[in-house]
Copies of this chain bind each other. A is one copy, B any other.
């Protein structure tokens, strides 16, 4: 079912050397003839430990990637910036090509706790299905026919080493078929994404000249839970604050001090209630001022089924979206969210003491959307708390302050935090990308204008001023970041076809 075409606008496919079906068919045939070799390359790559804080390990990975590039005539090199874990850059210039795609993956993985894994995270194995279903390790998986439902278990098998293998195999397939690539390709492969991308901005700024492209494609994260290919155009940003309302100097008897001592837990409840209503609408002055409206194109993608609405709600037992009856999941995550992440005061449950707490704390998280600025958000939130009658401190109050002020709030903002980042759904290159991805699969493409979660993509759009899109490869049930991370082999096969279609195109959309 292909409902996207009318919604995505009238962008037409142009300049593809082969018809799309021919390209994916060629990629499939190449893969079928080379499955063992592709998996061998994958497994070899996964055998290199890749936790970002181990510089030696990361250098070994980087050199391995450069070797894989060089085997394909891609000019590879390490990019450095300060004490950043090394990034790998690669360049493949195609004669006659006028457009350049920047392909992004990260090659570092989440830290591992081997005792929680069923097999060594850095000695990948292939199982005949899902571990949860009791699938056993296959002794010699590459000897015969390979079932696409088999899975590779190992750290970074899905997040994010296999998408890079898919890209390399796609290039190999196009060349074997004499069909390209027909676009200039650059690689920017990060080595510390799982550590929060602390030097991404530095790396991009230090190597600004190298990192020119028409479009960044990011092969991180999973495809749609319904098994459909996915194009994601942005992420919400994130930050958080800790608010502590101070009461009396010590915990007081709830009888002798009930109605006498200020109750910081009750005050915190009122403060939170003043910040947002029960449907998630934020009541803080100016909070929505900078929010960019949802475009018609984006709304079209949402209404065409950007998300699997029913299962996203039913599976975790949600009667309806908090944002309101009738609000789509995708709409709810395109507006900023003020989440109460935690509350802590006094005692609750069987050990409850009849006492008035001396303080009450809340952790408040924010998911911001394009247009907003974390700095202005912080200013507005602090101003809101002051407008509720509080003196805002960044430390405990002194004894004198306690006796002087009836309302004291201690506020700490998370020093890190990501700004939101997105590419306009109506951008012509995005429309083109969506068509290519849709044509490359028998299943409909799901276009997500904005993901509810956050990734450090803002530096990419800020520094390069280039549109970007996330085009994932791996299975949604890959246990990324957790023990027993895995890749369904059939998803790797589909990823090769997907990236072959993307790289076979000449991207001359005008």
Residues of A within 8 A of B (CB): 235-236, 238, 240, 242, 248-250, 252-263, 265-270, 272-273, 276-278, 280, 312-314, 316-323, 329, 332-333, 335, 337-349, 352-357, 360-363, 365, 367, 399, 402-406, 451-454
Contact = CB atoms under 8 A, between A and B. Distances in A.
B249 A316 contact: yes
Contacts of A352: 240, 242, 341-342, 363, 365
B258 A367 contact: yes
Residue among A259, A312, A342 having the largest count of chain B Cβ atoms under 10 Å: A259
Given A255-B454, A318-B260, A403-B317, A345 B346 contact: no
What number of copies of this chain does the assembly contain? 2
20 contacts: A240-B352, A240-B354, A242-B348, A248-B318, A249-B316, A253-B453, A258-B452, A259-B333, A260-B321, A265-B343, A266-B278, A266-B338, A268-B269, A270-B272, A270-B273, A314-B403, A339-B354, A340-B357, A341-B353, A343-B345
A322 B262 contact: yes
A319 B258 contact: no
A365 B254 contact: yes
Contacts of A317: 248-249, 399, 402-403
Contacts of A258: 236, 280, 333, 337, 339, 365, 367, 452
Contacts of A404: 319
For chain A, what secondary structure do more than half of its interface residues adopt (helix, strand, loop), or is it mixed? mixed
A477 to B, nearest CB: 15
A323 B367 contact: no
Contact of A346 (B272, B340, B403, B406): B340
B342 A260 contact: no
Nearest to A403: B319
A313 B261 CA distance: 8
A344 B349 contact: yes
